[in-house]
Structure 1
Amino acid sequence: MKADRGRKYRAYPTPEQEEVLTGWGHDARALWNLALEHRMMVGRKHDGTWVWSTEQSLLLTQVRNDADDTVNWLSDLPAKAGQQVLRRLDQAFLNMANPDHPAGHPEFKRRSSAMSIPFPGQALHVRKLNRHWAEVRVPKLGWLRFRLSRALGGAVRNCTVVRDGQGWHVCFGIHTGVVDAAPNGKSGCGVDFGVAVSAYVSTEDEPRLMRPTLTPGEQQRLRGLEQRKARQIKHAKRHNGGRYSKRLRKTLAQIADLKARQARRRLDFTHKLTTDLAKNHGFVGIEDLRVTSMTATAKGTVVEPGARVQQKAALNRAILDNIPGERRRQLEYKTRQYGSELRPVPPHGTSQTCPSCGERDPRNRVGCGREFACVHCGFTGHADKSASIEIEARARRMGGTVTKSTRRPRKESSRHRTTVAGARVNQPSAA
């Protein structure tokens, strides 16, 4: 049974447990980096396959048994957690070799990366304390309390203990056994995701606007913390050999807390938006956007430097703040859950096409405002509303069930990606 749903809860470890989890988080990161370096050094074997977790798990067991003072941290990390780290590295290599997956070569994890300690489901035991609290028994740690904000709703298949800027969380992979719902028979819609207007639905007269993810006071505080961080890093490089001081780490923690708060508000709006769209429509048409290309930097090269770099950087931040990729990911599984369909359509010219006469003309959009004025039939209206109507029309013409991602094959351009061209990626069976 594979996990088909995810659950995330706020965890409240004791001070002793938090110290242990912090050490395990660094150990898991170090193990990932060591395993990745080992695979890159060995490369492909004579039969064209890579080193997989089945072989590295045997090496891990030998190192744990013969651990000396230099690698005794491997004995501190639970064995099942170490094996799960290696299995996740397997999946990263499979994604890299998959031409339909956008992932590139696995990267080394930095100390500033989010901490995560994975565990398999058979190593855990969850018990409910009351309506609002529950506990999970973690190997070598004991019972870890978490806030039961919603029911698990199925069998636990895996668990990951993570830490962000606002504290520790436990994330469960749950097998619910729920199948895709039957078509709900409702009317469809088109949705135009933008920057100035977060979302405009073709069947509505008012746009969906996302509130600023940070208040003016929080934005001012974030700017001050970023400036303080820059000064402290400069001082550390000049006078402390590059080592971070306690004050600098405190500043980084305060920045992470604001960023985590911002991410939660952003996700709250996104979940409410996608759930409403999937629940109340028979199909949802969206633009098949290439977010990576849209948010590419404008710096250019030394020979040919880019123009308006700061303006492009601000636009990129605004696009990413609306997380169009996450909205699409949520719509992909929520439409199946509520009996609707996701229909990505070609995005070219949706904001330049008149919803009345159907003529596409760049002159229909005057300036960079939100006004639309057709030069052929004289129709006027909101530009994003016109784009959403055109998206719905294209989705209707497409028809069928298009609920899975239609990502284009990634380009084989980087050095790491070309090394796996034609390689066998079949993972050997466990011994």
Structure 2
Amino acid sequence: MSRFRMYPTLAQQAALLEHCRHARYVWNLALEQWSMWTRDKRPTPSFAEQCRQLTAARAVFGWLRAGSQTVQQQALRDFDRAVRNFYAGTHRRPMWRRADLHEGFRIVGGQASRVVKLNRTWAAVNVPKVGWVRFRLSRAIPAAKSYRITRDRVGRWHLAFAVVPPPIPAPGTGEVVGVDRGVTVSAALSTGELLSCPGLSNREQERCKHLQRRLSRCRRGSNRRQRVRAAIARLYARARDRRKDWVEKTSTDLARRFDVIRVEDLRIAQMTRRPKPKPDPERPGRYLPNRRRAKAGLNRGILVSGWGGLVARLEDKAAGRVEKVNPAYTSQTCSVCGHRAPDNRESQAVFRCAGCGHQANADVNAAVNIAAGRAVSARRETPARISLKREPQLATFA
């Protein structure tokens, strides 16, 4: 919500990359100190002690002194916060930062407020020891006390202000919507809408395959290999930008239209795990087929559909209005009579109830069940949605 695209000059790019290298070096050095701790040793240096060590190191090493002390000290503060979050159980263990993958640094304090608006399209931010760097005004500049400058793997620079936008207010209509997430249809709504997350076109997919074949023939460390890798990264970045844009627009639209949004409680990390190998009991050291390639294709389809990003952004924009429903048997249960059977779903897209003959789109039928909060009980039974005194009706098919 508060990220802007930066357009630094070549000289400014070199200076920004130097800041990124210094922040990454200080982070990895602090991580090394923390990783070497054992129970028989003294506690690792605190943030204040590490700042004193940084001051002593800047006095000795000229290349470190040439960088910004604000950038280097903030990297230590970020690492201290990461360690605290790890011990609190809210975040994962801090990891090593790699070149070309973790390029970024943060500016806090009074230096973060040095932002000027040049015109209706452009603004500039004063980065320490870099100067005024232009960025494009795609939205209003928020009032923030810190910002972060990052560089993605394609080479694009971004400026992100540390401001959490307020959630979108509910419309007050009392409407409830169910969202069924799938691979063929990214999101099916209980209103009958079918939403698909855009990705690479057929021509772009063919080009990606062609570039990957060229990459396999390139010599490691060559300039040609770097150019091919950059071309592949641009294609993946294009797909990632489209997916993120779709997630933002879809989540905003749902948060503005409905009071309550119900989604399936899916464990995406467990669903996208690779299958375990199956040892062959008759041939020691050999393995049986486990459909690894088919599972890899399914995992890829789940990840490119933006399942997790959609729910995460819904929880941010519609705080307190997102409910997670047990997904068990929602695709096999009729939304009209409540009959549940595996034969109800004839194919991926067609749902035909064997009890009452109701026919609808399979994803929309599941979304209606999710909107009603219908989930199976411990005995694998669904709550009845028709009168128990009604005589059973035979299904008639043409």
The answer, yes or no, to whether TM exceeds 0.5 is: yes
220, 237, 243: which one aligns with 1:260: 237
Q: Deviations over 1:270-319 (max 9, x none)?
A: 11111110000011001111110011012537765661111111111111
Q: Give the TM-score normalised by structure 2.
A: 0.85
- Distance verdict in 2 for CA 1:57–1:44, change over 3 Å: farther
Aligned to 1:379: 358
Aligned to 2:226: 249
- Distance verdict in 2 for CA 1:22–1:250, change over 3 Å: farther
Secondary structure of the 1:225 match is helix
In structure 2, the gaps of 5 or more residues are 280-284, 377-398
Asked if residue 139 in structure 1 is aligned to residue 128 in structure 2, the reply is yes
Q: CA deviation at 1:257?
A: 1.4
- Distance verdict in 2 for CA 1:225–1:26, change over 3 Å: farther
Asked if residue 208 in structure 1 is aligned to residue 195 in structure 2, the reply is yes
Q: Give the TM-score normalised by structure 1.
A: 0.79
**Of 156-165 and 135-144, the range deviating more from structure 2:** 156-165
7, 30, 44: which one aligns with 2:25: 30
Secondary structure of the 2:194 match is coil
Secondary structure of the 2:178 match is strand
Q: Percent identity?
A: 37
118, 133, 142: which one aligns with 1:129: 118
Q: CA deviation at 1:396?
A: 11
For the Cα contact (< 8 Å) 1:298–1:306, is it kept in 2? no
Aligned to 2:379: none
**Of 374-383 and 139-148, the range deviating more from structure 2:** 374-383
Aligned to 1:291: 268
39, 51, 54: which one aligns with 2:34: 39
Secondary structure of the 1:349 match is coil
**Of 187-196 and 248-257, the range deviating more from structure 2:** 248-257
Secondary structure of the 1:22 match is helix
Q: CA deviation at 1:53?
A: 3.0
Look up the equivalent residue of 2:299 and give its one-letter code. N
347, 350, 370: which one aligns with 2:349: 370
Asked if residue 317 in structure 1 is aligned to residue 300 in structure 2, the reply is yes
For the Cα contact (< 8 Å) 1:352–1:364, is it kept in 2? yes
238, 261, 269: which one aligns with 2:246: 269
Aligned to 2:101: 113
Greater RCO between the two (CA within 8 Å, min separation 6)?
1
Alignment of 1:293-372 (within 5 A): 293-298=270-275, 300=277, 307-336=290-319, 341-367=321-347, 369-372=348-351
In structure 1, the gaps of 5 or more residues are 1-5, 237-243, 398-431
137, 145, 157: which one aligns with 1:168: 157
Counterpart CA distance in 1 for 2:169 and 2:40 is 45
Alpha carbon RMSD of aligned pairs, Å?
Answer: 2.6
Q: Deviations over 1:370-394 (max 9, x none)?
A: 2112223322211111110111111
Q: Deviations over 1:337-376 (max 9, x none)?
A: xxx7111112222111211122332232235x22112223
- Distance verdict in 2 for CA 1:139–1:200, change over 3 Å: same
Look up the equivalent residue of 2:297 and give its one-letter code. A
Secondary structure of the 1:65 match is helix
For the Cα contact (< 8 Å) 1:166–1:260, is it kept in 2? no
**Of 162-171 and 194-203, the range deviating more from structure 2:** 162-171
Counterpart CA distance in 1 for 2:188 and 2:289 is 32
Structure number with larger C-alpha Rg: 2
Counterpart CA distance in 1 for 2:336 and 2:374 is 17
Counterpart CA distance in 2 for 1:358 and 1:128 is 60
Q: CA deviation at 1:94?
A: 3.4
Counterpart CA distance in 2 for 1:305 and 1:14 is 56
204, 223, 234: which one aligns with 1:218: 204
Look up the equivalent residue of 2:205 and give its one-letter code. Q
Number of positions where the alignment pairs a residue of Structure 1 with one of Structure 2: 368
For the Cα contact (< 8 Å) 1:353–1:360, is it kept in 2? yes
